[in-house]
Structure 1
Amino acid sequence: MTPPAESDVSITIVLVDDHALFRHGLRELLSMEPDLVVLGEAGTGAEAVVMAARHRPDVMLLDAGIPGEQAAATIARTLAVAPDTRIIILSMFDEPAVVKELLGAGAQAYLVKTVTRDDLVATLRSVRGDGDRVMLSISRESFERVSDGRSSILSAREAEILALVAQAYSNSQIGRRLDITEGTVKRHLRNVFTKLGAVSRLDAVNKAVASNLITVEKPAAPAPRG
């Protein structure tokens, strides 16, 4: 058994998959770890959002093919009601377009269902302990295709937030200006860092400007004196 990273801290989890047998097996597997606590299960995207709002879990394990709505929509709705929940995608496939879409939507990790038990447990502990880390367990080919395209697209909201970062706004100031929570700002910035391969706010701004993804506003020139 892999020893827990922090034995005195439990990691709470919600399982979301439309196959009850898979959920039950996963619950049994995770129950073997003393620091992992499964709070509940859901079989659809709508049920997942209700569970997230009710329990505010540390981590949600979400099937990429969950019925009822697109996984990206479930991620967005989950983070709206539980912004501190880390979302790990479990999928039978590692199609690069899907990987990019779900990471861009706010998922913290993307694992194929052939992942080992030890790797799954390690990922749960890692994303709970480090909110800025993105974990992948996909084929090398898919990883290369995801990496090649990561700097090509920022959502309108991500570009808007990064433009404010370029103007030296803090996360709390950005949240107030855009009428969103500071946690939502941080989530968007994590997505930006992932897409741009950036290591800091300044690095993200510089890369976005160089790629013409955002335009940094220049200070207005002083009015001529009459």
Structure 2
Amino acid sequence: MREGLRELLEAQAGMVVVGEAGDSESAVALAAKERPHVVLLDVEIPGDDAPTTVARIHRHSPETQVLILSMYDGPELLRSLLAAGIRGYLLKSASIQEVVSAIYSARCGDGRVLLAVSRESLAQVDGQPSDLLSDREREVLTLAAQALTNTQIGSRLGLTEATVKRHLRNIFIKLGAVSRIDAVNKAVSASLIKVDKVHNGR
């Protein structure tokens, strides 16, 4: 599929494919090296999950716009990818014309986000932002914002340290965050948690 898509894209006027990658690590490394205008990313790329890969690409190449290709349009995945800053989400059933149009749209940098998903998923994404994090995840992140360690958070909530780590990992994935402070800031901006002051602790 990747080879066929590359041939189709290379045939488009004004479009140059600077590289392709078979796993998330290679994709991030290639983006860091080439600084492409647009990355077309398969949501099921081997390696890191898609939100993490998007966040890493943006960290190494902030100007790169990321478009997602997926077989699924579940609202939770879509929310986490939107939080990570994608510029578009296309189902793999999209025509090549739709893919090319999305790439040109992302390249123009007008800030629009293209979502080719079902009405049901879009309604859930728009209508239930507070459901992005579970109640327990919000509790963990609120305590993390106070610079408590994993052990201290576990003690407060009656959880093991391993469980706290798992919750934080899930939070990072859902929010497309790369650190605790990043997760806290994104959650506060999205009104998912409320904190009096964000502590830049570990």
**TM-score band w.r.t. shorter chain:** 0.5 to 0.7
Contact 2:18–2:34 (CA<8 Å) still a contact in 1? yes
Q: Distance in 2 between matches of 1:103 and 1:46?
A: 21
Question: Which residue in 2 is equivalent to 1:96?
Answer: 75
Give the number of the structure with larger relative contact order, counting CA–CA contacts within 8 Å between residues 6 or more apart. Answer: 2
Within the candidate set 15, 29, 51, 1:50 is matched to 29
Question: Which residue in 1 is equivalent to 2:152?
Answer: none
Question: Which residue in 2 is equivalent to 1:60?
Answer: 39
Structure 2 residue matching 1:67: 3-state secondary structure: coil
Structure 1 residue matching 2:41: 3-state secondary structure: strand
1:110-136, CA deviations, whole angstroms, 9 ceiling, x for partnerless residues? 111001111111111111112521110
When structure 1 is superposed on structure 2, of 116-125 and 57-66 the one drifting more is 116-125
Structure 1 residue matching 2:93: 3-state secondary structure: coil
Cα distance change, pair 97–127 in 1 and its aligned pair in 2 (3 A): same
Q: Distance in 2 between matches of 1:151 and 1:125?
A: 33
Q: TM-score by structure 2 length?
A: 0.65
* Residue 75 (structure 1) aligned with residue 54 (structure 2): yes
The list of structure 1 runs, each at least 4 consecutive aligned residues, that deviate by more than 4 angstroms after superposition, is 151-156, 211-217
- Considering only aligned residues, what root-mean-square deviation do their CA atoms show, in Å? 2.8
Give the C-alpha shift of residue 149 in structure 1.
Answer: 2.1
Q: Distance in 2 between matches of 1:150 and 1:133?
A: 19
1:37-95, CA deviations, whole angstroms, 9 ceiling, x for partnerless residues? 10000000000011001100000001111111111111111111100000001001111
AA partner of residue 124 (structure 2): R
Within the candidate set 136, 141, 155, 2:120 is matched to 141
AA partner of residue 53 (structure 1): A
Q: Which structure: larger Rg?
A: 1
Q: TM-score by structure 1 length?
A: 0.59
Q: Structure 1: give runs of 5+ residues left out of the alignment.
A: 1-21, 161-187, 196-204, 218-226
Q: Distance in 2 between matches of 1:149 and 1:124?
A: 29
Q: Structure 2: give runs of 5+ residues left out of the alignment.
A: 146-181, 198-202
* Residue 130 (structure 1) aligned with residue 84 (structure 2): no
Question: Which residue in 1 is equivalent to 2:170?
Answer: none
Aligned residues: percent identity? Answer: 41
Cα distance change, pair 134–151 in 1 and its aligned pair in 2 (3 A): farther
Structure 1 residue matching 2:46: 3-state secondary structure: coil
Structure 2 residue matching 1:103: 3-state secondary structure: helix
